[in-house]
Structure 1
Amino acid sequence: MSIRHSLLSILAQGPCYGYQLRAEFERRTGSTWPLNVGQVYNTLDRLVRDMLVVRAVSNGEKDSDSTAVTSPQHTYYTITESGRTESDQWLFSPVERYSVGRDELALKVTIAISLPGVDANDVITQQRQATLGALDSLTLSAQQRPAASDSGEFAQNLVADSMQAHAQAELRWLDHVEESLITARSAGRSLAFPLDTAKPKRGRPAFDSRKKVAHDS
């Protein structure tokens, strides 16, 4: 989740101070992912460093009939034109789910399958039980929740729907992996393999060269 760009897009609506920005983030995401205020300020420091945001300290507000300060000083953060451009690029660019980062579950399962002495079916079973439990909880919550009465509840419901869809997709993928293992083993294929004792060659891995040849052709 891009906290950096989420905060930047909120700042495009107007200047905010740190605690205000955290409250705005949680209000707009249904409080699904609570932010630590330290995380907010660390992100703001990096945005200032990258000249996407500028900071300024307010002098507080004074009572109209006296010189007494009636509101505290705050450090406000204001988006720059470069920041606004980056915010727009993030908002209107598709999320590249399949080329960025690692999927921990896919990583764990593929490693487990490759390890001699490890029963990958146990790994799949454990994950399926956990995912089914999460899906049951999400489904029950969806059935019991009333219609959203404000924008915060609307956002919370959308996030919950997304989590439910991801859990359903994860279960389908686990079923696919299990069926693929059965097919491979029925064909007598051994998917686990021991350590390679050959000394690795220096330089780029061989698959990079093959990929480049295929791409150039």
Structure 2
Amino acid sequence: MSIRHSLLALLQDQPRYGYQLRVEFENRTGATWPLNIGQVYTTLDRLERDALVAKEGDDGEGHVVYSITPAGKAEVRSWFAAPVERNNPPRNELAIKLALAVTLPGVDVQAIIQAQRVASIRALQDYTKARRDTAANQKATDTAWLLVLDSLIFQTEAEVRWLDLCEARMVQQAQAAAAGPARKTSNGATEDAPLNADSRR
């Protein structure tokens, strides 16, 4: 998630101080990705260093107000125009957990999958209810939140489908292990190897 570009986009709307930027970001995204106020000010310092924002001065209540510079506006336009890169996909803790679980002895992978499926389905129900409630009482400002909810619903549905696939793969693996090793025949096909010499009689 690009905090840098998100703050620039909000400053393009109007000048703001750090806490206002935090509140606006969370309001527009339904607080799905909460921002730490320290992270906001650290990012603003870097944006100022890069001449993308400038301090307008004090608002009279002790808050330093920031405004976007022409270079910052150009940066925002480029950000909106460019697709999100997939060269370095974000870390997926669940995928990492399962990838490690299947390679370590003594880990109950099926239990991990089941526990996650329960949690994912509960989250999916919560997102769906939130979307239904928001759509029923929709205000003009709710469109951004509906877009975020749609994204969360689709991601969670995909996660549940992926968990089903993981479970099926574990079952196939267990069945293959129980069936024993296979060997190739003269025509290149495989057949189950005999369990012992008596089975060939």
Which category of TM-score, normalised to the shorter sequence, fits these structures?
A: 0.7 to 0.9
More RCO (CA 8 Å, sep 6+): 1
Q: Percent identity?
A: 46
- Match of 2:138, SS? coil
| Between structures 1 and 2, the one with greater helix share | 2
Q: Residue 76 of structure 1: CA displacement?
A: 2.1
- Distance in 1 (alpha carbons) for counterparts of 2:139 and 2:129: 19
Partner Cα separation in structure 2 for residue 92 and residue 177 of structure 1: 36
Partner of 2:155: 166
Give the letter aligned to residue 78 of structure 1. Answer: S
Q: Offset of 1:125 from its aligned partner?
A: 0.9
Structure 1 residues 183 and 44: CA distance shift in structure 2, 3 A? same
Map 1:1-217 → 2, pairs under 5 A: 1-58=1-58, 71-72=60-61, 74-97=63-86, 99-145=88-134, 146-151=136-141, 153-188=142-177
- Code of the aligned partner of 2:57: V
Residue identity in the other structure for 1:9: A
Give how far 1:106 is off.
0.6
Q: CA RMSD in A?
A: 2.3
Separation (CA, whole Å) in 2 of partners of 1:119 and 1:134: 23
What CA deviation, in whole Å up to 9, does each residue of 1:58-93 have, x standing for no partner?
A: 4x6xxxxxxxxxx54642212223322322222222
Match of 1:188, SS state, is helix
By how many angstroms is 1:98 displaced? 6.1
Instruction: Please report how far the alpha carbon of residue 141 of structure 1 lies from its aligned counterpart in structure 2 after TM superposition.
Output: 3.1
**C-alpha distance in 1 between matches for 2:127 and 2:67:** 38
Could you tell me which runs of 5 or more consecutive residues in structure 2 were left unpaired when the two chains were aligned: 179-201
Between the two proteins, the alignment pairs up a number of residues equal to 177
Relative to the length of structure 1, the TM-score reads 0.71
Using the alignment, how far apart are the partners of 2:26 and 2:107 within structure 1? 42
Compared CA separation, residues 129 and 25, structure 1 to 2 (3 A): same
Q: Secondary structure at the match of 2:78?
A: helix
